Chains A and B, each alone.
Chain A
Amino acid sequence: MAFGGGFLQRLREGLARTRAGFAERVDAILGGHGRIDEEVYEGLEEALIQADTGVATTMRIMDALRERVRTEHPRDAAGVKALLQQEILSVLKPVAKPLAVKPAGLTAMLIVGVNGAGKTTTVGKLAYRFRQAGKRVVVGAADTFRAAAIEQLQAWGERSGATVIAHQAGADPAAVAFDAAQAAIARDADVLLVDTAGRLQTRTNLMEELKKVHRVLKERLEGDLSEGLLVLDATTGQNGISQARLFGQAVPLTGIVLTKLDGTAKGGIVIAIAGELGLPVKLVGVGEGVDDLQDFDPDAFVRALFS
């Protein structure tokens, strides 16, 4: 047995510190030091990595921070923190974009993501949100693979008053997407939301299936697809970059919906994705309630990182 009690004990104590959260850690690092020394930088670097920001992005942000500290000479550690916030904001601000909803005509959205990211729930919440705004909503249940995914979406349809277009389990998802688009056009709907089955981005055949869904849907809409949204779980680690990259290769992505931000996960992976791919962040899910899907606010996001 390679691990004695001492090691695990130490580790647990260490983690008790990490649970204190990014904010306290940053404050602890900065508060204890009047002087701005290497330890301050190391601590901030640790905190960023712990928030799932990723090594590469963290290094980039830290380099920029060091440069600014050199030129701007903040008085104390608190000044360094403010600069760090600004640095993160400068990465996130350019990618904070609202959902593209057309003032008139049909706004169509395709929702994709890995298994369990929260696609169906996001579609349900979006449907509810648009219904509340008085829009006519059609939902396509193109997740024909997971057992009872269709029923799950139908339950959301009943809740929100959206029309759910579904085939049987195991049906061709592209056909469902086609029919949903057809129905949306025929009913003169304002919003079309197409849910898809969760798939790991490395499963080539499933990604091919997704390409087909997108192709068929776009053709039926005569090229007028407003959003290709990647649903991303805020607890996701560095795999999120692979998700954004590979889903983006299969279908044109217009943005990210960051779900499950109501836990203790900070969702720092979107900073990494923003830094590496520049993919916009559109919405964040902050709770289980139907109206807990909000527009992405980078200031609030960064505040939450440090709060």
Chain B
Amino acid sequence: MFSNLAEKLQSALGKLKGRGKLSEKDVEQALREVRLALLEADVNFRVVKDFLARVRERAVGQEVMQSLTPGQQVIKIVHEELTGLMGGSHARLGLTGRPPHVLMLVGLQGAGKTTSAAKLANALKRQGHRPLLVAADVYRPAAIRQLQVLGEQLGIPVFTLGERHDPVDIAQAGLSHAKTHGNDVVIIDTAGRLHIDDELMQEVERIAAAVEPKETLLVLDAMTGQEAVNVAERFNQQLELTGFILTKLDGDARGGAALSVRAVVGKPIKYVGMGEKVDALEPFHPERMASRILGMGDVLTLIEKAQAAMDAEAAEKLAAKLRSAEFTLEDFLEQLRQVRNMGPLDQVLGMIPGFSGAKQLQGLQVDEKQLKRIEAIIQSMTPEERSQPAIINGSRRRRIARGSGTSVQDVNRLLKQFEQTRVLFKQLGGGKGPRRRKGMLARLFGH
């Protein structure tokens, strides 16, 4: 899910990551690519425009230019804006007041209303509710039967009057049935309808007027294109939606609809359908989704921790040294200490973009002891050796190894890694390095 969008955004933003300083041009270039990635992901055109305008405004402003890690800062802004676009925090179902609570599912044909109704009933049953499913789709052949079969599978009662009744009557009768049978939640599955079909739109409005649902949820296919916002707006005008259920997110749909509908209609996505099985319905968490889209573990926390642990001025100096290739073992040690200040290393690594993929973290044995050993090796060097590693010959190596309680091989490895890192930074500083996938830490641990 979202994987393609995530890759594209990461590649667009990845170019900013290692940069010590960003020009307006750098940001523009990255944002152009972000624009393409979003459009290819079916994010609504207007939403993309406004989204980029907001990111641009913040990215070329003070917020970024004065930060220690401008690239990261831009990513942070994109992340915040993405989260905002999808609705901030998770929106729960509003099941307050006197039961029975009526939930009504509406949407286009084929969006997945009937399946979602069953999944939702199942989820609520697990939370201790006693749901009643009401089959009010009298148009599609065998739609009622479909809900009955699902109800049987789940052990959830399904109410219907058959295909020859008015859906408004069915809904009302379903509600009274729930009252007399002690069901505290009533989920009404309505027929699929086109948002421009006035007759059917009025019908669903009449159902709503008759049973006064606490939740009117628009079921929306994640594969929908630019049309998603039109559909959502039209349904919202007619019915005053309370939220969305986004279905079929388990495929490779890039889910731009998810980014668009909340922003346009102002109603949250509450659940997402993640598979064909009846338990494949998950609560929607915008901030987690934004992190997943950007392929971040939790970069926000990481940035906050970094800000807390690092002295801004020292970091500035370090960045300057990195670019000018004056980076010494002394600086290397200093950086290691700062990273360690941020917390247990495996946790910190998990928050670094690019490291968040579980595969990369697997087999990456983060050894605190190894860090200590590196510290010991560097501390066993003379200041001269630290600033000019080239002078470290065989006899100096043996002395350093003895002094730090390590072996000559350990010393060799560290020096080699340091040299590689330095070369890498030099290339990056010149703007013509290889694509920097793995940072210094990864190299340090041999990955």
Contact = CB atoms under 8 A, between A and B. Distances in A.
A94 interface: no
Contacts of A263: 108, 194-196, 227, 231
A14 interface: yes
Interface string B8-20: 0000000000000
Nearest to B37: A55
B45 A3 contact: no
A242 B50 CA distance: 28
A161 interface: no
B110 A116 contact: yes
Interface residues of B, number: 61
Interface string A6-46: 01101110110011000000000000000000000000001
Contacts of B140: 152
A238 interface: yes
B36 interface: yes
Contacts, number: 177
Nearest to A146: B146
B227 A15 contact: no
A294 interface: no
Contacts of A203: 250-251
A265 B223 contact: no
B439 interface: no
B110 to A, nearest CB: 3
Q: Which of B47, B195, B230, B233 has the most CB of A within 10 A?
A: B230
Given A11-B264, A148-B149, A46 B47 contact: no
B146 A238 contact: no
Contact of B45 (A46, A147, A152, A202): A46
A15 B229 contact: yes
A200 B112 CA distance: 13
Contacts of B221: 116, 233, 235
A11 B84 contact: no
B384 to A, nearest CB: 52
Q: Which of B110, B231, B264 has the most CB of A within 10 A?
A: B110
B225 A269 contact: yes
Contacts of A202: 250-252
Contacts of A145: 276
Nearest to B194: A263
Nearest to B262: A3
B46 A19 contact: no
A155 interface: yes
Interface residues of A, number: 58
Contacts of A18: 44-46, 226, 229-230
Contact of B54 (A7, A54, A233, A236): A7
Interface string A237-256: 11110110000000000000
B264 A148 contact: no
A49 B224 contact: no
B224 A237 contact: yes
19 contacts: A2-B88, A7-B54, A52-B226, A114-B248, A115-B110, A147-B149, A147-B153, A148-B143, A151-B141, A152-B140, A200-B252, A233-B110, A237-B226, A237-B253, A239-B252, A243-B223, A260-B110, A269-B225, A288-B139
Interface of B: 36, 39-42, 44-47, 49-50, 54, 80-81, 83-85, 88, 108-112, 139-143, 145-150, 153, 194-196, 221, 223-231, 233, 248, 250-254, 256-257, 263-264, 266, 276
Which 4 A-B pairs rank lowest in CB-CB distance, beginning with the nearest?
A2-B84, A237-B225, A116-B110, A237-B42
